[in-house]
Structure 1
């Protein structure tokens, strides 16, 4: 129950007590018995206030104003007393379980009826008091039922939300597991087989240049397998997928350039500016853009002289890959490399320009904002 609801009996109790005493002095019929009405009025107000913490005990104390009024010679509890009794009976019906609430109502009705008959009042007076107490009690029970129903609906809604979240999580886990299985069983297996075959081919080569080229391809294949195994481990949320592959970062650009150089691509790396603090996700995306651009050069331009430039500035990081004149390397129309690069750059509201150079070469230039613009 909200604490704010406790204000009701705390305010009603003193108010009823004051009204009962005021009625005793202002009503001509009660004025002759003013001193006798003080006691029942104060008891009624005190009982209502007590019902804030002890609903049943407070109701019984308030109802005791009936026999107390009879003992001290008070003619009736008056209109203020009836208001207070209706209020405390409704409060107990709201706060108490059904049986204890019925007990409070029964005691209130019995006290009113018996007191009326012993005081020599009419049968109508004996009927009138229960007739006005019962609607107050029913109103309290209805309020309690509605509150319980609302609480149950809230609980069911929370349970449904939790179940929906569990179902969505299970679906995500299932899909991630399926993707991980496909990557492991198909892609990683194929790359592993190709890497093993490259190793066998390297051992049969006698030309040192050719051996170095195949060795670079073999090393690149092993690294690709490591990265795919790391991806499988992430998708499966398990740490048993082998040692994690190094995180993609522009700090490893020299390793990437060395790998493609070993594969036969003459490439030069230039890093300009102080690296400083680069956001982790931005750093990984820039590395992947560089990796994809160099892969495109290998696929479509052959051994074309290529220049890689990484520039760190206070508000942005720029990556450019430009291959030599006469060896344009257009993006593959049937793949997703260029689309993936644009998506990675757009995540940080950067810019990507990919196209032929005036001298006949091809360039990919990506810029990633690192300040507030990102």
Structure 2
């Protein structure tokens, strides 16, 4: 259970005050000076409680009770006063920075030694005051130091965890890049060569049945190459594992982002989404993202309409901007531009048209075939 530093003075103060009153009436040595003993004791308790809000002024008020008690006739500090003095110096060492806690310690030692000397007590009493207060203050400082070290260790542990996650993400990204390179350079190349050879073989066959079988194998090979190229594109994405996968299901988020950047966009969706292949879905999202990014760069904030059409045999996208400014290629800035969009659409044997509209606007239209047409 963690103890709040602010709660300690609020509890210690009343306890010390009650002990001071009890000591004044129950200890025979103080019975004849009861009022002179419990009044400073109550002041000590009040000063300790004030330390909750005034961490330096409160302890100084508390230690002032000893010279005050001497002035009103108290014969000694008393046990309750000594308990309060040890408690407030230990709390100051724990709660306050080193210099401010030393101020409280010096005031407590000075008050105790001065009271002992003025009361005519033995020199031992003057030595006893700092001897008994220093360990209390030191324990408070030690607790503060341990707490600071624990907080620093917690911060370092969190930093190490974050660094470990970044290292793991970098390792995963590097491995994904290596796999993508191997798939592209080895597997996709080999399947492409096989597909080309099947095409050459098909043209040499005369039997229609054989030609149909080889044609189906050739079509399957081309489809496999397209799928592998799409997979390579996804593997080369630099997004982390925590980033949502690109999908037309997130089109509202995309439009919200470009809208916040200053581009007014109206979205129209027709048809039933149905079962859209994952690779095609990701590529369609990237094409739409690139088109909107280019419009945002070159349109000057003109009204833009995005239309997504779902049909049994195809998915269509259109981005129509009323400004009439051409969407130029931005590959030199790290984007794909129209060339990159054409490449993404071509992976699925689709079509992309980009150009001015008859009414003066500019449009980008992409078609992604589904099923056997892909």
Shorter-chain TM band = 0.5 to 0.7
State whether structure 2 residue 142 is matched by structure 1 residue 134: no
Residue deviations 1:246-289 (CA, integer Å, cap 9, x gap): xxxxxxxxxxxxxxxxxxxxxxxxxxxxxxxxxx9xxx9xxxxx
Cα distance, 1:21 vs. partner? 0.6
Residue deviations 1:183-216 (CA, integer Å, cap 9, x gap): 1111012212322333344455554433322221
For residue 76 of structure 1, what is the aligned residue in structure 2?
76
Cα distance, 1:2 vs. partner? 5.0
Cα distance, 1:29 vs. partner? 1.5
**222-231 or 95-104, larger mean C-alpha shift:** 222-231
For residue 49 of structure 1, what is the aligned residue in structure 2?
49
State how 1:203-242 maps to structure 2 within 5 Å: 203=203, 205-238=205-238
For residue 255 of structure 1, what is the aligned residue in structure 2?
none
Cα distance, 1:124 vs. partner? 2.1
CA distance in 2, matches of 1:2, 1:57: 26
For residue 258 of structure 1, what is the aligned residue in structure 2?
none
How many equivalent residue pairs?
244
For residue 192 of structure 2, what is the aligned residue in structure 1?
192
Match of 2:30, SS state, is: helix
Residue deviations 1:325-345 (CA, integer Å, cap 9, x gap): xxxxxxxxxxxxxxxxxxxxx
Larger C-alpha radius of gyration, 1 or 2? 1
TM-score scaled by length of structure 2 = 0.59
Runs of 5+ consecutive residues of structure 1 not aligned to the other structure? 246-279, 285-374
CA distance in 2, matches of 1:229, 1:145: 59
Q: What is the Cα-based RMSD across aligned positions, in Å?
A: 2.8
CA distance in 2, matches of 1:176, 1:38: 78
* Matched-pair contact (CA < 8 Å) for 1:92–1:101: yes
For residue 298 of structure 2, what is the aligned residue in structure 1?
none
* Matched-pair contact (CA < 8 Å) for 1:40–1:77: no
State how 1:96-135 maps to structure 2 within 5 Å: 96-135=96-135
* Matched-pair contact (CA < 8 Å) for 1:109–1:130: yes
CA distance in 2, matches of 1:30, 1:204: 123
Runs of 5+ consecutive residues of structure 2 not aligned to the other structure? 240-245, 248-274, 279-374
CA distance in 2, matches of 1:58, 1:193: 87
CA distance in 2, matches of 1:238, 1:216: 36
Residue deviations 1:84-127 (CA, integer Å, cap 9, x gap): 11011001001111111111111111122223323333322222
Distance change in 2, residues 1:238/1:202 (3 Å): farther
